[in-house]
Structure 1
């Protein structure tokens, strides 16, 4: 039997949706049907004489050759699944069945393209994986930059399983500052950018402002407005940006970038990334909600100072550290003199403004590493620590009193306010938390009575 099918058989084979292939004993193509070009992108003339294994995805070649050896030994192979690299550089998922014809010295295979099925399965897996990542990675402290970077890294990995994603960036929009930030940025040519003004990143700004996906290819670049076309940096050929939406407004964008004309992004990639972006936006918003809830549980909502619970947690940690390192702690209790009269005469709104202004001045009197907390009402507490024992309670108290010499400007009203301050020093006034708290509290009330 001739290894090339007769003409009538070829005509029938060319009508099949699946590709029929014949490969000789050396693993070279000797015949492919018309469907081969639709599935793999190569014409018959381009593959006849080429080794079959050259088209197989590099990661699948070893197991493919192992199956080929079984077929050459006379075993049928049914529904073997592996990946091939199409002519355009994209990955095709193939299920094929094959047998070896001993008489004709050829391996006959029928290949079915299941890329779309695998894509659907991958999308379902991506939704699950992103949701799982959102629950297992947590945002950092709520300081304005509570970005779940571990989540973004996992999303990058998930997206990379769906389409080419060597260059992947998460851009977040800070509406308060009018800035774009880049908490996650992986690029083979460009370093991670610093935060920049919204208008200084024309492509991302366009995606976020319009709420529409933007796909830039060599074919579409010429039709773009000059600011957008010029924004492609580093010789990028392809740029794909998808907005991240949240109920209260835009969160930012997911961006993919490619530097090669081979295997660029398509409309299908755009649809896929849009689908992923909805899951990412939900995950980012969920992380931010958890961060807000943690913040509400630990901080006073009026002054944004640590509340009683967070203060005690920090005090316990600082005391243990001072004992271990033979350091020093200063604890200051502060109570506003005549605060009730301000509330009664000027109203609670002015009283709230006063508490906020006091919180601001107290923070200015200490270092960033020190703790200023509001225990409730008009009671505040300051915790200062030094591993070298260089703190002086009188010096800090004097600084606070000087800050209170200036009147408080509250919605156009000038209000004078003084404070009673009590101090406790570790280890002079006690070695345990409650003893130090009691000493500072009693010292504060003693000064108030005076």
Structure 2
């Protein structure tokens, strides 16, 4: 049985799309880019088809960064200039069409290509013990988002959280127990953040959190303090209460840099210089059998 592809469509009805042999497609129409952004947040779609005569408006659309991450985006411009088409491709759009009649084929191929790329990329882009994006994948995501920020400036922040205590767990309970502890820390970070925020593993003892949408740089400091406090709460591993000692660092865009590498260096450097409170009571990690807060077995 052929899969059914869910398509969000802006700017035109698509009867040919519904009847195409490249489907079956289920098409949901939208009347504005704002409505598209809302629908994308509410439910998953395989593709987004945008009919437009204003490519500059699409390039400056704030939700485009999330749209190209979540769906295969195809744009029909009618008579696109080469520079306009290339710019949209740089922002992550899969294809730019001059003829709406090519939309069914372009959509199906874009969906399949995106699935193949995702399958191929999971091996190199994921930290296997935690299931989080790894360092390279985070930098790639940041580079893409920062390119959009050049057109639509807005504050964002990168938080790095280095943790002490994993090595002690690995020595006393084994590497598998240390990996369980890392997974539990990852679960806590994800649970404490919005869906639009990105959590990544950037090393055996460090996490990074990208706050893609913040109102002011002060929000980054507030979230950093909250995450450090959450990570420092006890965990249950192998029936024992374990603790991690987080060292936190923050880099704000654009104050501390305008490219991914500069922001990462700044946040890492700040985390290395960070002196956490309560060092004498936080370590050693192994405290013997005890209950741990907010810590279901992973």
Aligned to 2:242: 415
- Describe the shift of the 1:290–1:404 C-alpha distance in structure 2 as closer, same or farther (beyond 3 A): closer
- Describe the shift of the 1:358–1:324 C-alpha distance in structure 2 as closer, same or farther (beyond 3 A): same
- Describe the shift of the 1:291–1:439 C-alpha distance in structure 2 as closer, same or farther (beyond 3 A): closer
- Describe the shift of the 1:375–1:139 C-alpha distance in structure 2 as closer, same or farther (beyond 3 A): farther
Q: Find 1:384's aligned residue among 198, 211, 224.
A: 211
Q: Please list, as runs of the form range in 1=range in 2, the aligned pairs for 1:332-351 lying within 5 A after superposition.
A: 332-351=159-178
Q: Find 1:312's aligned residue among 110, 126, 139.
A: 139
Aligned to 1:361: 188
CA deviation string 1:172-211 (max 9, x = no partner): xxxxxxxxxxx99xxxxxxxxxxxxxxxxxxxxxxxxxxx
Q: Any runs of at least 4 consecutive aligned residues in structure 1 with deviations exceeding 6 A, and if so which?
A: 287-290
- Describe the shift of the 1:441–1:405 C-alpha distance in structure 2 as closer, same or farther (beyond 3 A): closer
Aligned to 1:330: 157
Question: Tell me, what secondary structure is at the counterpart of 1:366?
Answer: coil
TM-score by length of 1: 0.35
Query: Would you say the 8 A contact 1:343–1:350 is kept in 2?
Result: yes
Q: Which has the higher contact order (CA 8 A, sep 6+)?
A: 2
- Shift in Å, 1:390: 6.3
- Describe the shift of the 1:410–1:381 C-alpha distance in structure 2 as closer, same or farther (beyond 3 A): same
Cα distance in 1, alignment partners of residues 23 and 206 from structure 2: 48
Query: Would you say the 8 A contact 2:161–2:207 is kept in 1?
Result: yes
Q: Find 2:225's aligned residue among 378, 398, 402.
A: 398
Aligned to 1:300: 127
Higher alpha-carbon Rg: 1
- Describe the shift of the 1:377–1:427 C-alpha distance in structure 2 as closer, same or farther (beyond 3 A): same
- Shift in Å, 1:292: 3.5
- Shift in Å, 1:403: 1.0
Aligned to 2:258: 431
CA deviation string 1:402-423 (max 9, x = no partner): 2124211123221111211111
CA deviation string 1:214-271 (max 9, x = no partner): xxxxxxxxxxxxxxxxxxxxxxxxxxxxxxxxxxxxxxxxxxxxxxxxxxxxxxxxxx
- Describe the shift of the 1:326–1:409 C-alpha distance in structure 2 as closer, same or farther (beyond 3 A): same
Question: Tell me, what secondary structure is at the counterpart of 2:143?
Answer: helix
Report the RMSD for the aligned CA atoms in angstroms: 3.7
Query: Would you say the 8 A contact 1:328–1:391 is kept in 2?
Result: no
Cα distance in 2, alignment partners of residues 438 and 368 from structure 1: 25
For structure 2, the 5+ residue unaligned runs are 8-16, 25-44, 47-113, 278-298
Question: Tell me, what secondary structure is at the counterpart of 2:196?
Answer: coil
Residue correspondences, number: 181
TM-score by length of 2: 0.52
For structure 1, the 5+ residue unaligned runs are 1-129, 141-149, 158-182, 185-286
